[in-house]
Structure 1
Amino acid sequence: MATVLVTGASGFVGRHVVPALIDAGHRVRAMTRHPEDYEGPGEAVFGDVHDPDSLGPALDGADIALYLVHSLGSEDFERLDAEAAEAFGRTAAQAGVSQIVYLGGLGSDDEELSPHLRSRREVERILGMAGVPVTVLRAAVVIGDGGISWEITRQLVHNLPAMVVPEWTSTRSQPVALDDVVRYLVGVTGREEAIGRVFEIGGADVLTYREMLQQAAEEMRGHGVPIVPVPVLTPRLSSHWIGLVTDVDVPTAKTLIDSMSTEVVQTDTSIRELVPGEPLSYRQAVRLALAQRL
């Protein structure tokens, strides 16, 4: 099997992907800015995508790299992510990496994408500029314990007996369970048929954000909550509201909310031909996320 470098190995998705890759028989190098504190499986190696000099040693000897990092917490995330992707793709090519696997974002190229989704598309392109083939998995909201989008939902439902929500909560999305994301990431790693391709991934349900809040409330409380949509909550106002009610910082909240006005629904299911299996429903994903907190 291959030697796989996983960036963001201690992050939301990375910490679940690393053991799954090892179970699949790969040798895993877990890239982190703090290898001395890393407690997961695999070989911990130092690396920071914003420090190009650190990438050569981290990528040395790797056959495949999983790129699972972003700069959403910064207001300058588009520039930072573009610079990081350029340095990583260039260094990966120099190291002889044969495949980069990237977790990007859903959204039609025919629509005007939000800065967040536009940045995800740009990272897809930049990662491959130096010649390493990139396999892209485009996802909507990933539901799992520790995920920022799920935490916004969970904390809103937990903290508020009723909600006044903006109009963007009527936008449709196709949330996907963390377990399915991990399954797809492992399934395309090292697969010749996946080299250089873009796949869309999604869960079993297409829901509005309002429906997601209601179903989460039903799973957490046993009943729904009153939700009243109003037209006056702009993304900026919404992000400050979320900053008050949850522990998600305002810049990250605003970046994510800007994207929620864009419909993110899977239109291509070819990933299921390569990685068979039915995806979980939203309710199943919520139950797993809640169980992971116990």
Structure 2
Amino acid sequence: MTAEPLRVLVTGATGFVGSRLSPILLEAGHDVRAMTRRPEDYHGAGTPVAGDVFEAGSLAEAMDGVEVAVYMVHSLDDADFERKDAEAARNFARAAADAGVRQIVYLGGLGRDDQDLSPHLRSRRQVEKLLGATGVPVTVLRAAIVVGAGGISWEITRQLVKNLPAMIVPKWAATRSQPIAVDDVIRYLVGVIGNEETFGVTYEIGGPDQLSYVEMLQQAAEVINGRRVPVITVPVLTPGLSSHWIRFVTDVDTTTAKNLIDSMSTEVLQHDFSILEVVPGEPLSYQEAVRRAIEEQRTS
């Protein structure tokens, strides 16, 4: 990250990633603006500013004087999320261009462009393109499952492991993914913010482990419970049925669960490692990411 202090706008400042990113940027000496629809209720790091990506007219004041805008918005809790996320990205891109923003940083999703992507991952690609459509350089970090306390994908894993002595899983649970610790996501975001070398570049980020969803459940169970759980794979659980089952066992919203599960039949692995040239360092293992997530939840 540039050593020069920047004015950085963080969207999703109250969310899983944004709430971790803002204090680190503030500690580094940057002027952090935390965009929220209800600034009067914001108590996190940075200066709260009112803004709603679905209300184009609300963004001009939030963007005023901003040099870097970090975009971490999604509508996975809405069945019409593809349309809504496209609308939000268009609004944000226009406002950033009008305000003279130098860089947009976007946390997207892993997956090769030549794959048959799920609606969720296809939407992430569309958002990438729309954010860059008005000429502001976009730096994209593509990640798979992000492991950390409060993350939706992690909460599904944690609660399944905690609440079930054994599991019946669909055949797509054998699909491989490349989970990454939220600490590493933050480290990579910090490393690209304001870094002109990264303007207009897409990077893939991931942890060192390529694991199936079954393996992730088993390794999480080892950390949480000290033992693996029996897992039986069956061919009949569709994403829709799986999401209702997850809703029964966990407190994750059914629509959000279904939109995430739709993506789990797509293998999402890191193939490009050029991010390590920009932000050196060995990422945390999956088990270490799980340990940190559990410890954070235990002490919070």
Question: Which bracket does the TM-score occupy, shorter chain normalised?
Answer: over 0.9
State the 1:248 CA deviation: 0.7
1:101 to 105, 119, 122: 105
State the 1:22 CA deviation: 1.5
User: Letter of the aligned partner of 1:11 in structure 2?
Assistant: G
Residue in 1 aligned with 2:50?
46
State the 1:17 CA deviation: 0.4
Q: Secondary structure of 1:49's partner?
A: coil
**Superposition pairs of residues 140-219 of structure 1, within 5 angstroms:** 140-219=144-223
Alignment gaps of 5+ in structure 1: none
1:117 to 113, 121, 126: 121
State the 1:234 CA deviation: 0.6
**Superposition pairs of residues 73-92 of structure 1, within 5 angstroms:** 73-92=77-96
Q: TM-score, with normalisation over the residues of structure 1?
A: 0.99
Residue in 1 aligned with 2:232?
228
Separation (CA, whole Å) in 1 of partners of 2:220 and 2:43: 31
2:267 to 256, 259, 263: 263
Q: TM-score, with normalisation over the residues of structure 2?
A: 0.97
Q: Secondary structure of 2:262's partner?
A: helix
Greater displacement, 32-41 / 70-79:
32-41
State the 1:279 CA deviation: 0.2
Across the aligned residues of Structure 1 and Structure 2, the Cα RMSD in angstroms comes to 0.6
State the 1:51 CA deviation: 1.1
Q: Secondary structure of 2:258's partner?
A: helix
Q: Secondary structure of 1:156's partner?
A: helix
Separation (CA, whole Å) in 2 of partners of 1:32 and 1:290: 28
Alignment gaps of 5+ in structure 2: none
State the 1:25 CA deviation: 2.4
Residue in 1 aligned with 2:292?
288
**Poorly superposed stretches of 4+, deviation over 4 Å:** none
State the 1:24 CA deviation: 2.4
User: Letter of the aligned partner of 1:245 in structure 2?
Assistant: V
Residue in 1 aligned with 2:27?
23
2:141 to 137, 144, 148: 137
Separation (CA, whole Å) in 1 of partners of 2:110 and 2:218: 23
2:252 to 242, 248, 255: 248
Separation (CA, whole Å) in 1 of partners of 2:226 and 2:277: 37
Separation (CA, whole Å) in 2 of partners of 1:270 and 1:246: 37
Separation (CA, whole Å) in 2 of partners of 1:24 and 1:215: 35
Separation (CA, whole Å) in 2 of partners of 1:121 and 1:231: 29
